[in-house]
């Protein structure tokens, strides 16, 4: 599996207490430094009211626990911090996650 937009990857957790966590990649090759960094949204096992469930949206692969995208948890991942790609989700889920993220930073 590749590391394009819609990929679910496991990478270093720069803010949390866990050494690794899953992320949804939302940037594409139009992102500056796309070979070095990816914009991603955190994925958690916590189901907050604003979270987006991942279940039912896998095209390839899966996560081993029920998981939810946190559209407010935006991170810029360096490619060397990404361990592996574990899944790919639908374009619809990616678009919904991006729209939710934009709502947190726009008027």
Residue-wise pLDDT tens digits, 27-85: 987 777 777 889 999 999 999 999 999 999 999 999 999 999 999 999 999 999 999 99
Domain boundaries, the chain: 7-105
> What does the pLDDT read at residue 2?
76
Q: Is 107 helix (H, G, I), strand (E, B) or coil?
A: coil
Model confidence at 92, pLDDT cuts 50, 70, 90, reads: very high
pTM, full prediction = 0.92
- Please give the Cα distance from 23 to 3 (Å, whole number): 11
Residues 80, 26 contacting (CB under 8 angstroms): no
| CATH 2.30.30.110 assigned to 7-105 | yes
For residue 68, report the phi and psi dihedrals to the nearest 5 degrees. Answer: -140, 135
């Amino acid at each position: 599996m590749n590391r394009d937009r819609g990929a679910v990857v496991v990478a270093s957790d720069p803010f949390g207490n866990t050494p690794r966590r899953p992320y949804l990649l939302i940037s594409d090759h139009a992102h500056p430094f796309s070979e070095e960094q990816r914009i991603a949204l955190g994925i958690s096992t916590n189901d907050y009211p604003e979270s987006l469930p991942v279940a039912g949206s896998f095209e390839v692969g899966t996560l081993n626990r029920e998981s939810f995208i946190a559209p407010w948890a935006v991170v810029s991942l360096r490619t060397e911090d990404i361990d592996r790609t574990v899944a790919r989700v639908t374009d619809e889920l990616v678009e919904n996650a991006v729209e939710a993220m934009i709502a947190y930073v726009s008027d």
